[in-house]
A and B are shown apart, each in its own frame.
Chain A
Amino acid sequence: MHELVEFAVEKALELGADYAEARFEEKNGTSLAMKNGSPEGLEVLADRGIGVRVLVGGGMGFASTNVLTKESVAEAVKKAVKLAKSASRVRNEPIRFSEEDFHSVYYEVKMRKDFRDVSPEEKLELLRKIEEEVKGTGVNVPMRYLSYSDQIWHKIMANSDGAFIESIIPRVSMMYNLVVFENGQMEQAPFVERAFSGGLELIEKDEPWKWAVKDVKALKRLIYEGKKPPEGKIDLVISPEVAGIAVHESVGHPYEADRIFGREAAQAGESFVKPDMLGERIGSEAVTVIEDPTIPNSWGFYLYDDEGVKARPRYLIKDGIITEFLTNREYAYKLGQRSNAAARAINYNREPIVRMANTYLAPGDYSFEELIEEVKLGVYMVSFNEWNIDDRRYQQRYIGSEAYLIENGEIKHPVRRPILEITTRALWSSVDAVGREVEFYPGTCGKGEPGQGIPVWMGGAHARLRDIPLRY
């Protein structure tokens, strides 16, 4: 396949491309689902193809094919060049890429327990384990939808600037949707996912069934003991899970340079952040937000992005100040910077665009007890279900699922659906203390057209927010 990738790049240059990039991707894996105790069947994934992206006269063209012959790849290259040429005629200014250092690299993530050696029936056992453990709690859970998925992503990319990157990354995940029905009321833990880059040992160590047990017990308690949360201005302590969604939605997304420059305007939208806001204060001194693709075994893991640029941790906010945007080569050039390797594509048939990987609220120096004990009246939001944010990433809302009252420094009874509906600036300016321990939660981040749901981790430490107008 190396030859076909190199052939595509050479062919594009031969046809007049100023820049050419080819990416072969192969995905193999299995997925299984179980609905209300009954196995739903096996899905075997076997997908591969090549995508070619070129610049011609400042226009960009992309073509892909899953027919992996020289003729078919040459045809795709021809199409990409033709499309780029005609696109260049509808440009106000040519697209240019930043200068980067490129390498020839091979890397892979090793599995200690290779899921390819495990039978589908044994994988079903993992789902059955959730069934049994949930049943063992005695909580009435009439609707249960569970799934397991493993995949190996094999990529080979090369470009005309000298990059040649091959990687093999295995990914394993489990998901559950559990509907608790007690006392005539329904509560739900929907789309809860546990996910890693690596082998099956990571799932076995994580024990998703324990998360499921914790969830159904908490929801039952919420039904029987849940009370209305206090309204008006109170203090709010958010868990790593809630901090994770908040940094992802209101820090990661608005700092994506393609959004800032309007490329995603008709889909995921633009951003309240402007290029001249670098160096501006957006949060309190307690707030540092890091975006790091290189965390071992993370769901968003990679060492080189899909433009061949070496990945590194990126400080989006440091001590409350906007310090860095997420960039690819096109927007790094516009900003007069080097790319910080945020270009990702979900498959061979998608263009690389600016994406997050693993975004988290960096730890502070408070213990969890210290965060709580200084709260007179507040709420501790442990998990959330409904959430959304406007397309400039400024007005967001997170509705607590598992949440508790804090009174005089102590955690009390569960509270029902506390609603944090707040602007981005107010949210990050309200943080006065951050905990010491960091946790991560997986998600599939949506962006791009056609859609590119991409694996990410979101997380961070606990954080305490003062004077929050909580709603119910």
Chain B
Amino acid sequence: MEMFELNELILRKAKELGFGDAVVLAYETNRRQVRFANNEITVAKNWHERKVELFVELDKRIAGTTITELSEETIERTLKTLLSNMKGMSPKEDYYGIAEGPFEYKNIPETFDKAIVELDEPNEYVERAINSALEEGAKRVAGVLYTDHNRIYLTTSNGVEAFDEGTGIEISVRAFIGDLESGHGTNSVRVLKKFDPESAGRKAGEIASLAKNPEQGPEGRFDVIFDPLAFANLLSYMSFMTSAYAAEAGFSPFVNKLGQKVANEIVTIKDVGNLPNGYGSRKFDDEGVPTRETTIIDGGTFKAFLLNTSLARKYKTETTANAGLIMPHAWNVVLEPGDYSKEELFDEVERGIYVTNVWYTRFQNYVTGDFSTIPRDGIFLIEDGNLKPIRNIRVSDNLLGILSRVEVVSRESHHVHWWEVETPVTTPYVLVKDVGITRATK
């Protein structure tokens, strides 16, 4: 049975059983992975999955499930189980429905490439990335390569029938010289001709080479230049906090901040669901609304939470096309670039710190935004135009504080998506004033 026929069958049966709103989102995914470490492949993987995500509503009671065995019998049994479970349940009082379709969809440039589907074996790209890192002086190289091919079929009880097909290829490379000297580079694209595994390997190798013989770093307040890899991590965490759902659940410092200044005026942050060549781009959200650009922070002012239709109606506004039927989420976060070259940005700092990557970002308090994160890979003390390798420091600050102290953003931007940056982020190099830096003293 074709996937749309299957979707229709599920919708028809849901209607027969008396459900109200119903959304059927079917996926076919083919994903490959090549993992490597110590300059050799540690494992190669392949995933083939077919599944249907189902969302149903019954008098404001809502439920979701996933069906993987797509027989008529399983579908019927699943729907009946949901029905009997939902009948005695209390309603979600603040449920306001799903989007009214149909909609028209536009192709997003550079999100599908047959060449990726037909790619037989991607090991060659891994070897190229490893070799570029080794050429820069690295001794050990580790990382991961993925290829993706996804088909999505969406049908809703409100007249939506939508299809999207996407591809992607990405690599994440970490290069080491000794135990303490490392660098990281990534490259994530949707079409093969834009794929540049060497650039990721080269960057990882270059930073590792610059980071030789690091000394214990200082503590205090410093002007910090965040590499796109590092700032993407913070913006990825931030994007979760801009979901209206996260705000209601007590996981956001943006609560009660609509219309208020939350960042320096040079900061404009958007979510762009239809970003060409964006790793998170998709034609429509989970209820079928065509994805778009939503300005979250405009010139330093907090403009919008990310919404689905139900939450939008609750707050008497329009959806931002970020469903998640339960929790809206960002697709691709974009920090608008500035007009400084990378060199000019570094010239702005007389004494400061260059952080090339971070990990383990954790919050003491999500509502105030107090957090810390750990720089990893090359960290450099900037003094009179020189980069001196340091180690063992921690960025300990406040998320809104960081945003309000953004001093300069570069022209050059990078699209980042890897293990530590789940929501893809496009960001320039960012100079932040007076960033809190701590370290262990025993």
Contacts and interface: CB of A to CB of B under 8 A. Distances in A.
B367 A143 contact: yes
A47 B365 contact: no
Given A40-B326, A144-B250, A46 B41 contact: no
Q: Which 10 pairs, one residue from A and one from B, show the smallest C-beta to C-beta distance?
A: A143-B250, A386-B364, A265-B142, A83-B44, A41-B62, A388-B360, A145-B249, A266-B142, A44-B65, A266-B174
A377 interface: no
A331 B389 CA distance: 33
Main DSSP-derived SS at the B contact region: strand
Given A38-B93, A49-B68, A87-B123, A422 B144 contact: no
A177 B245 CA distance: 13
Contacts of B62: 40-42
A389 interface: yes
A423 B68 contact: no
Contacts of A91: 40-41
Interface residues of A, number: 94
Nearest to B325: A41
Interface of B: 33-51, 61-69, 78, 81-82, 85-86, 88-94, 121, 123, 126-127, 140, 142-144, 172-174, 176, 179, 184, 245, 248-251, 326, 359-368, 370-374, 376, 392, 394, 419, 438-442
A388 B367 CA distance: 19
A65 interface: yes
Given A84-B44, A177-B250, 9 more contacts: A36-B248, A39-B90, A44-B82, A62-B45, A143-B249, A349-B49, A388-B362, A397-B440, A417-B364
8 contacts: A39-B90, A265-B142, A265-B176, A266-B142, A385-B364, A386-B362, A388-B360, A389-B374
A179 B92 contact: no
A471 interface: yes
A39 B92 contact: yes
A422 B363 CA distance: 18
A323 interface: no
Contacts of B370: 386
Contact of B362 (A45, A61, A387): A387
Contacts of A426: 440, 442
Nearest to B174: A266
A395 B37 contact: no
A79 interface: yes
A469 B442 contact: yes
B385 to A, nearest CB: 28
Contact of A61 (B45, B68, B144, B250): B45
Contacts of B419: 266-267, 449, 451
A388 B37 contact: no
A421 interface: yes
A119 interface: yes
Given A41-B61, A388-B394, A389-B374, A124 B89 contact: yes
Nearest to B245: A35
Interface in A112-169: 119-121, 124, 143-145
B383 to A, nearest CB: 23
A89 B42 CA distance: 11
A144 B249 CA distance: 6
A187 B364 CA distance: 9
Given A178-B250, A395-B392, A45 B66 contact: yes
B91 A43 contact: no
B81 A44 contact: yes
B90 A121 contact: yes
B179 A270 contact: yes
A468 interface: yes
A76 B47 CA distance: 8
A18 interface: no
B41 A72 contact: no
A469 to B, nearest CB: 5
A143 to B, nearest CB: 3
B365 A468 contact: no
Contacts of B89: 39, 42, 120-121, 124
Contacts of A15: none
A343 interface: no
Interface string A16-49: 0000000000000010000110111111111111
Nearest to A121: B88
A63 B441 contact: no
A90 B122 CA distance: 12
A414 interface: no
A385 B442 contact: no
A413 interface: no
A75 interface: yes
Interface in A260-276: 261-267, 269-270, 272
Given A145-B249, A262-B38, A66 B94 contact: no
A190 B367 CA distance: 10
A402 interface: no
Contacts of B61: 39, 41-42
A90 B123 contact: yes
A186 interface: yes
A46 B367 CA distance: 34
A399 interface: yes
A132 B362 CA distance: 30
A193 B172 CA distance: 33
B46 A39 contact: no
Contact of B49 (A65, A387, A450): A65
